Amino acid sequence: MADTVKLEIVTPDRKVLSEDVDYVGAPGAMGEFGILPNHVPFLSALGIGNLYYKLGGKTYYVFVAGGFAEVSHNKCTILAEVAEMAHEIDVDRAQKAADRAGQRAQQTKERLDFARNQAALRRAIARMSCQRAGKDAGTC
């Protein structure tokens, strides 16, 4: 039995991470799920939120939005539409994106694509919380 699980996070643009880790927690579309070494095969859509993984007693955070997670042969593959390690997140940019979403919600109610605006706001809030969590954990 393996005592770690291989975590790979990729987006259409790049490979974000490839690491042997102790545990993966991820924001599934239907709620958070956790993956330990030797997990049974598993497939889930991803929501918007913070994936985290544990390695050597530390917890690391990665923002993800959309895509799929697949677990097979002790490998957890995250095929994310968008993903950023906590240290890569530009918090000022996320704050501006949140402000824009707030302004759109107030100013353009008749023409507003509510779901799209809501998703932009959720991405911005999750990015800020991801970097905060990484800093609190001392891994960012």
Q: End-to-end CA distance of the chain: give it in Å, rounded.
A: 31
- Residue 34 CA to residue 59 CA, distance in Å, equals 14
State residue 86 phi and psi, 5-degree precision: -55, -40
- 88 is an interface residue for ligand ATP by CB under 6 A: yes
- 135 is an interface residue for ligand ATP by CB under 6 A: no
Judged by CB under 6 A, the residue of 127, 130, 133, 134 near ligand ATP is: 127
Q: How far is the CB of 25 from ligand ATP (least distance, A)?
A: 20
Query: Which range of residues in 17-25, 30-38, 50-58, 89-97 is near ligand ATP by CB under 6 A?
Result: 89-97
Burial of 128 (0-12, 13-18, 19+ CB in 10 A): middle
Q: Where are the alpha helices (DSSP H) in 1-140?
A: 91-107, 114-137
Judged by CB under 6 A, the residue of 84, 86, 104, 130 near ligand ATP is: 84
**Contact set with ligand ATP (CB under 6 A):** 65, 82, 84, 88-90, 93-94, 97, 120, 123, 127
